[in-house]
Amino acid sequence: MVSEDLTYKKFGYYFKDLSLKSNKKIIVICNKCKKIRIINKYNYRDLCKSCRQIGIKNVRYKQHWKEQFKNGNIPWNKGLKNVQHHSIITRKKMSEKRKGKNHWNWKNGSASLGILIRNLFESKEWRNEVFKRDNYTCQECMQYGGNLETHHKIYFNIILREFLQFYNQFSPIEDKETLVRLSLSWQDFWDINNGETLCKECHKNIIRGQKNAKR
């Protein structure tokens, strides 16, 4: 259902005053899970996308299991001969060739350094301060509480890259402890204004939209 009060409070107009095909945004509450979300007027539905898909998925999965896994079905690999598998030694060699600097996505060890910085006590305090400032409310769909996350307006990996460029005399692998200690005084990591409270679904949609915009 549409929340007239929240819509007017955020956007300054009422749902009933909009035309049928209006492109303006409104705030609605799902009739089933009571989640608050912001959508365009012409996309209005009584249920959110997740609740609408629950019934459809259950029916599809039941049909799939009944058709594909009937009693007496023969496994696809039964009776096959000369099926070769890599030995343990070969698998270890293949694994070593994909580790560390040999991996296609190797980033000079900055990934493990980023994990250490994210796990610092100061990082958790930064996250809590962002939640308190936003009153534990998603800044996109206005959902209060639930599964909330903090979104970096300027990506964390961009801040980390600038940090490593400034301290390029240190190695992200050999001098991890030194870089972690220096990160405590790097203000961009702990700038509350760079953080935003989002629910998990809105956070995923924003990141997906930013990735698609880069393509």
70 by Cβ neighbours in 10 Å (0-12 / 13-18 / 19+) ranks as exposed
Adjacent-strand bridge partners of 198: 149
In a domain, residue 93? The reply is no
pLDDT average, residue stretch 111-125? 88
Residue 189 · residue 117 · CB < 8 Å: yes
Assigned domain for 38 exists: yes
Q: Is 114 within the bounds of a domain?
A: yes
CA distance 19 to 128: 41
Tell me the pLDDT tens digit for each residue of 125-147: 999 999 999 999 999 888 888 88
Structural domain containing residue 169: 107-214
pTM of the shown model? 0.53
Contact between 180 and 117 under an 8 Å Cβ cutoff? The reply is yes
| 111 and 207 share one domain | yes
What gap in Å lies between CA 177 and CA 166, rounded to an integer?
16
Write out pLDDT tens, residues 20-54.
Answer: 667 788 888 887 777 787 877 766 777 776 776 66
- Euclidean distance between CA atoms 105 and 98, whole angstroms: 10
